[in-house]
Structure 1
């Protein structure tokens, strides 16, 4: 065993550094579900900046320093407060915000989001093709800010109304962009800051693993924060 370790010191050092990099600096995560349609697709692999919010002890969740704050509209990875599953959703409400949803329309601090229809399409829900509507959602009314593209599925049962809820300090309300097909804060509750992992920045690579496994080269390197 000692000889094996001695002969493979370089490889072992690489594994340690690789683990440190992925747990403390940056990571890449595959998208396993449809909860972030239309912006993220199954088969996308996203780059996650793990230094966006906190500096942590490598290979642990121990926070050494706060490096930044989540912003409304960020796509983030985090551990579910229910079972610690790694999830990816969009930050919708920040600490101190009063948020509610009325028949699918979001209200933040009393101001309703604005929507513009992009297209009507079809998506698969449990193997069944369902009609969908894709919308551009703007929460601040400023054209210079990136807009969020969301998807609604009129013919399914979903929690389209909730609140108003005041988000406590140190917690965040997360929603999936596929609003009617996402187990987000409406199901798992608010997300404490200590469970945040990082900010998703862009799609690294993508392949249609539910179809013919062909690479979706048009998505390679795609930023997750588009301008309309």
Structure 2
């Protein structure tokens, strides 16, 4: 079962606020007077007392998570070596504008993603063709059921293409607006063979590269990527469902673990309305019992 924590927080905030507010408007004075007349000590009924105590707490948490920063845990290796499985990150919720909690409707525009940003977003679904040949979003990666519900999941990838960009990908070769993106090999990937994702990269002979993405203002974003062509051959762009031209209000995103990331090469561009925020810091890194525990060296790391 999948839970939308923002929706739960919003529902609890409304519930506690309504219970406390209605009690104070219609019941509180009569109850207080009745107890005073009998000489009894005043005490709120348990539901009202709980609502009064918890309302400000859940309200503060809702505001902080919705408009300031939200924690996420990295569940897979698609962003290695930049982000490891077990990293806990903070996401800037106001980097690209403020959105209504649970509904994700933007009500204040504060900026747009830049090339090279690491973004968290609600998974839009795989691009599939239905019986009529129309492209639709599906939760089924095989597209056997084009109308399968899209799961409510938060994903994390790096922005490669902006609206209007032309992006071409063939294996490890990446061209943006006709210009090859340069990358320098750092060396073989070094990891812990006791951890599944790291063992996979070691077994597949992964290599680490420094990729140089140029932003619109000319500044370079230098970040780490991993390649392991022995593992799988990713989809090229353009392909049958993903054009090379990035549509308006959409972004092309990829994982830094280039041969082990289900990203825009499979499911197309990321709609702007699905953005949740910009990842900016690792606040905790848990490697697991017996396989590293807390990785103190990663805590406080800024995400580039």
Task: Give the TM-score taking structure 1 as reference length.
Answer: 0.90
What is the deviation of 1:186?
A: 1.2
Structure number with greater Rg is 2
Counterpart of 2:205? Answer: 131
Q: 2:85 aligns with which of 42, 50, 57?
A: 42
What's the CA shift for 1:151?
Answer: 0.3
Number of equivalent positions: 225
Q: 1:117/1:160 Cα in 2 relative to 1: closer, same or farther (>3 Å)? A: farther
- Which of 69, 92, 115 is 1:26 aligned to? 69
Answering whether residue 154 of structure 2 is matched by residue 86 of structure 1, we say: yes
Aligned partners of 1:71 and 1:94 also within 8 Å: yes
In structure 1, the gaps of 5 or more residues are none
Which residue of structure 2 lines up, in the alignment, with residue 194 of structure 1?
A: 273
- Residue 122 of structure 1 contacts residue 130 of structure 1 at CA under 8 Å; is this kept in 2? no
Following the alignment from structure 2 to structure 1, what is the Cα–Cα distance between the partners of residues 288 and 218?
A: 36
Question: CA deviation digits over 1:168-189, x for unaligned, max 9?
Answer: 1100000000000001111221
Q: Show the 5 A alignment for 1:28-107.
A: 28-82=71-125, 83=150, 84-107=152-175
Matches within 5 A, 1:160-179: 161-163=236-238, 165-179=244-258
Post-superposition shift, 1:26? 1.3
Structure 2 CA distance for partners of 1:156 and 1:196, relative to 1, 3 Å: same
Q: For 2:72, what is the secondary structure of its paired residue?
A: strand
* Normalised TM-score (structure 2): 0.68
Give the structure with the larger helix fraction: 2
Pick from 177, 180, 185 the counterpart of residue 117 of structure 1. Answer: 185
Please tell me whether the aligned partners of residues 48 and 199 of structure 1 are also in contact (alpha carbons under 8 angstroms).
yes
